[in-house]
Amino acid sequence: MLFKQIELHCSELVAKFDTISAERKALLSSISKYIESKLALDQQVNLVYVCTHNSRRSHFGQVWAAVAACYYQIPNVLTYSGGTEATAFNSNAIKALISCGFDVTSETVEPNAHYTVRFGDTETTTCFSKVYDDEVNPQANFAAIMTCSDAEENCPFIPGVELRIGTTYDDPKAFDGTTQQDEKYLERSNQIALECLYVFSLVKDSKPIFPEIDKIN
Protein backbone atom coordinates (compact mmCIF):
# COMPACT_ATOMS: atom_id res chain seq x y z
CA MET A 1 0.00 0.00 0.00
CA LEU A 2 1.32 3.44 -0.94
CA PHE A 3 2.07 6.09 1.65
CA LYS A 4 -0.97 8.35 1.90
CA GLN A 5 0.81 11.51 0.70
CA ILE A 6 2.09 9.72 -2.40
CA GLU A 7 -1.30 8.18 -3.11
CA LEU A 8 -2.95 11.59 -2.91
CA HIS A 9 -0.26 13.08 -5.15
CA CYS A 10 -0.90 10.34 -7.72
CA SER A 11 -4.64 11.03 -7.61
CA GLU A 12 -3.98 14.72 -8.28
CA LEU A 13 -1.77 13.88 -11.24
CA VAL A 14 -4.23 11.38 -12.71
CA ALA A 15 -6.75 14.22 -12.94
CA LYS A 16 -4.29 16.00 -15.27
CA PHE A 17 -4.01 13.34 -17.99
CA ASP A 18 -5.76 15.75 -20.38
CA THR A 19 -2.67 18.00 -20.22
CA ILE A 20 -0.62 15.36 -22.08
CA SER A 21 -0.58 16.04 -25.81
CA ALA A 22 -2.08 13.53 -28.24
CA GLU A 23 1.35 13.01 -29.81
CA ARG A 24 2.90 12.28 -26.43
CA LYS A 25 0.07 9.91 -25.48
CA ALA A 26 0.65 7.94 -28.66
CA LEU A 27 4.33 7.59 -27.78
CA LEU A 28 3.61 6.51 -24.21
CA SER A 29 1.05 3.95 -25.38
CA SER A 30 3.93 1.99 -26.94
CA ILE A 31 5.24 1.33 -23.42
CA SER A 32 1.77 0.31 -22.26
CA LYS A 33 1.45 -2.18 -25.13
CA TYR A 34 4.83 -3.66 -24.25
CA ILE A 35 3.74 -4.12 -20.63
CA GLU A 36 0.42 -5.64 -21.74
CA SER A 37 2.16 -8.11 -24.04
CA LYS A 38 4.44 -9.35 -21.26
CA LEU A 39 1.57 -9.70 -18.79
CA ALA A 40 -0.53 -11.55 -21.38
CA LEU A 41 2.25 -14.17 -21.49
CA ASP A 42 2.48 -14.20 -17.69
CA GLN A 43 6.03 -12.85 -17.90
CA GLN A 44 7.85 -10.40 -15.67
CA VAL A 45 7.94 -6.81 -16.89
CA ASN A 46 11.39 -5.19 -16.73
CA LEU A 47 11.59 -1.45 -17.37
CA VAL A 48 15.01 0.24 -17.49
CA TYR A 49 15.07 4.05 -17.53
CA VAL A 50 18.24 5.41 -19.13
CA CYS A 51 19.90 8.83 -19.15
CA THR A 52 23.51 9.93 -19.48
CA HIS A 53 24.60 10.16 -15.83
CA ASN A 54 21.84 8.12 -14.16
CA SER A 55 21.48 10.87 -11.60
CA ARG A 56 18.15 12.66 -12.12
CA ARG A 57 15.60 11.85 -14.83
CA SER A 58 16.30 8.13 -15.05
CA HIS A 59 15.90 7.78 -11.29
CA PHE A 60 12.62 9.69 -11.45
CA GLY A 61 11.54 7.17 -14.08
CA GLN A 62 12.60 4.16 -12.02
CA VAL A 63 10.85 5.43 -8.91
CA TRP A 64 7.63 6.75 -10.45
CA ALA A 65 7.11 3.72 -12.69
CA ALA A 66 7.31 1.52 -9.59
CA VAL A 67 4.79 3.78 -7.86
CA ALA A 68 2.47 3.78 -10.88
CA ALA A 69 2.47 -0.03 -11.05
CA CYS A 70 1.58 -0.12 -7.36
CA TYR A 71 -1.08 2.59 -7.71
CA TYR A 72 -2.86 0.66 -10.46
CA GLN A 73 -2.10 -2.72 -8.89
CA ILE A 74 -0.28 -4.05 -11.95
CA PRO A 75 1.69 -7.17 -10.91
CA ASN A 76 5.09 -8.52 -11.98
CA VAL A 77 6.68 -5.16 -12.74
CA LEU A 78 10.29 -4.38 -11.83
CA THR A 79 11.86 -1.01 -12.56
CA TYR A 80 15.52 -0.08 -12.96
CA SER A 81 17.71 2.76 -14.16
CA GLY A 82 21.14 3.25 -15.71
CA GLY A 83 23.33 5.63 -17.68
CA THR A 84 26.10 5.76 -20.21
CA GLU A 85 28.35 6.55 -17.22
CA ALA A 86 28.00 6.36 -13.45
CA THR A 87 27.97 9.46 -11.24
CA ALA A 88 25.63 9.67 -8.23
CA PHE A 89 21.93 9.97 -7.39
CA ASN A 90 21.59 13.76 -7.35
CA SER A 91 20.70 15.37 -4.02
CA ASN A 92 18.24 17.78 -5.64
CA ALA A 93 16.37 14.88 -7.23
CA ILE A 94 16.26 13.17 -3.85
CA LYS A 95 14.91 16.37 -2.28
CA ALA A 96 12.13 16.52 -4.88
CA LEU A 97 11.07 12.96 -4.10
CA ILE A 98 11.09 13.59 -0.36
CA SER A 99 8.82 16.60 -0.89
CA CYS A 100 6.31 14.24 -2.54
CA GLY A 101 6.24 11.91 0.47
CA PHE A 102 9.02 9.40 -0.22
CA ASP A 103 11.28 8.13 2.56
CA VAL A 104 14.82 8.12 1.15
CA THR A 105 17.57 6.52 3.23
CA SER A 106 21.26 6.29 2.40
CA GLU A 107 22.55 2.75 2.88
CA THR A 108 26.21 3.52 2.08
CA VAL A 109 28.49 6.52 2.51
CA GLU A 110 30.66 6.52 -0.62
CA PRO A 111 30.24 9.34 -3.17
CA ASN A 112 27.96 7.14 -5.28
CA ALA A 113 25.80 6.08 -2.34
CA HIS A 114 23.07 3.45 -2.51
CA TYR A 115 19.63 4.66 -1.40
CA THR A 116 16.51 2.83 -0.34
CA VAL A 117 13.51 4.75 -1.62
CA ARG A 118 10.34 3.80 0.27
CA PHE A 119 6.91 4.67 -1.11
CA GLY A 120 4.75 2.33 1.00
CA ASP A 121 4.82 0.19 4.11
CA THR A 122 6.41 -2.67 2.17
CA GLU A 123 7.14 -0.91 -1.14
CA THR A 124 10.74 0.06 -1.91
CA THR A 125 13.22 0.44 -4.72
CA THR A 126 17.00 0.84 -4.59
CA CYS A 127 18.62 3.79 -6.35
CA PHE A 128 22.27 4.44 -7.16
CA SER A 129 24.10 5.58 -10.27
CA LYS A 130 25.30 2.86 -12.63
CA VAL A 131 25.80 2.12 -16.32
CA TYR A 132 22.75 0.68 -18.04
CA ASP A 133 24.29 -2.80 -18.38
CA ASP A 134 25.36 -3.05 -14.73
CA GLU A 135 24.93 -6.54 -13.29
CA VAL A 136 22.02 -5.44 -11.08
CA ASN A 137 20.00 -4.55 -14.19
CA PRO A 138 18.37 -7.12 -16.48
CA GLN A 139 20.62 -8.27 -19.31
CA ALA A 140 17.77 -9.41 -21.57
CA ASN A 141 14.00 -9.23 -21.92
CA PHE A 142 13.51 -5.59 -20.96
CA ALA A 143 12.32 -2.26 -22.28
CA ALA A 144 14.84 0.59 -22.40
CA ILE A 145 13.14 3.95 -21.90
CA MET A 146 15.52 6.74 -22.89
CA THR A 147 14.86 9.81 -20.74
CA CYS A 148 17.44 12.16 -22.29
CA SER A 149 18.54 12.97 -25.82
CA ASP A 150 22.25 12.49 -25.05
CA ALA A 151 21.70 8.90 -23.98
CA GLU A 152 19.43 8.33 -26.98
CA GLU A 153 22.17 9.52 -29.33
CA ASN A 154 25.13 7.87 -27.55
CA CYS A 155 23.56 4.42 -27.08
CA PRO A 156 22.98 3.30 -30.68
CA PHE A 157 22.60 -0.31 -29.51
CA ILE A 158 21.59 -1.83 -26.17
CA PRO A 159 22.07 -5.62 -25.97
CA GLY A 160 19.12 -7.71 -24.81
CA VAL A 161 16.49 -4.99 -25.29
CA GLU A 162 13.01 -5.94 -26.51
CA LEU A 163 11.66 -2.40 -26.80
CA ARG A 164 13.65 0.80 -27.00
CA ILE A 165 11.78 4.07 -26.90
CA GLY A 166 12.77 7.70 -26.41
CA THR A 167 10.65 9.73 -23.98
CA THR A 168 13.15 12.52 -23.49
CA TYR A 169 12.75 15.22 -20.83
CA ASP A 170 14.47 18.55 -20.19
CA ASP A 171 17.27 18.29 -17.64
CA PRO A 172 16.59 20.10 -14.34
CA LYS A 173 20.35 20.30 -13.88
CA ALA A 174 20.18 23.52 -15.92
CA PHE A 175 18.67 25.20 -12.85
CA ASP A 176 21.18 23.97 -10.26
CA GLY A 177 22.18 26.78 -7.94
CA THR A 178 19.39 29.11 -9.08
CA THR A 179 16.29 30.37 -7.28
CA GLN A 180 14.23 28.05 -9.53
CA GLN A 181 16.16 24.91 -8.61
CA ASP A 182 13.63 23.22 -6.32
CA GLU A 183 10.69 24.28 -8.50
CA LYS A 184 12.23 22.83 -11.65
CA TYR A 185 13.26 19.53 -10.05
CA LEU A 186 9.74 19.07 -8.71
CA GLU A 187 8.31 20.06 -12.10
CA ARG A 188 10.38 17.39 -13.85
CA SER A 189 9.55 14.80 -11.20
CA ASN A 190 5.85 15.55 -11.64
CA GLN A 191 6.05 15.37 -15.43
CA ILE A 192 7.68 11.95 -15.32
CA ALA A 193 5.24 10.80 -12.62
CA LEU A 194 2.28 11.97 -14.71
CA GLU A 195 3.47 10.06 -17.75
CA CYS A 196 4.29 6.89 -15.81
CA LEU A 197 0.81 6.97 -14.31
CA TYR A 198 -0.69 7.45 -17.76
CA VAL A 199 1.22 4.44 -19.11
CA PHE A 200 -0.06 2.18 -16.35
CA SER A 201 -3.59 3.58 -16.56
CA LEU A 202 -3.73 2.22 -20.11
CA VAL A 203 -2.56 -1.17 -18.89
CA LYS A 204 -5.24 -1.13 -16.19
CA ASP A 205 -7.95 -0.36 -18.75
CA SER A 206 -6.67 -2.63 -21.52
CA LYS A 207 -8.45 -5.56 -23.08
CA PRO A 208 -7.37 -9.14 -22.24
CA ILE A 209 -5.95 -9.84 -25.73
CA PHE A 210 -2.73 -8.07 -26.57
CA PRO A 211 -0.70 -7.78 -29.78
CA GLU A 212 2.68 -9.44 -30.11
CA ILE A 213 5.52 -7.03 -29.41
CA ASP A 214 8.05 -6.00 -32.03
CA LYS A 215 11.71 -6.00 -31.17
CA ILE A 216 13.25 -2.57 -31.60
CA ASN A 217 17.01 -2.13 -31.36
Q: Give the domain CATH number at 102.
A: 3.40.50.2300
Tell me: the pLDDT tens digits for 157-170? 889 999 999 999 99
C-alpha dihedral over 159, 161, 167, 172, to 10 degrees? -50
Tell me: the pLDDT tens digits for 129-152? 999 999 999 999 999 999 998 777
Residue 215 lies in a domain: no
Residue 51 lies in a domain: yes
Provide the pLDDT for residue 204: 83
Tell which residue, 32, 41, 34, 15, has the closest CA to residue 214: 34
Q: Which residues contact 211 (CB under 8 A, 6 or more apart)?
A: 33, 37
Strand order in the sheet with 142-146: 77-82, 45-50, 142-146, 161-166
Residue 77 lies in a domain: yes
Number of domains in the chain: 1
Residue 160 lies in a domain: yes
Residue 209 lies in a domain: no
Residue 174 lies in a domain: yes
Residue 213 lies in a domain: no
Total-model pTM = 0.93
Residue 216 lies in a domain: no
Tell me: the pLDDT tens digits for 66-97? 999 999 999 999 999 999 999 999 999 999 99
Query: Structural domain of residue 192, as residue ranges?
Result: 4-204
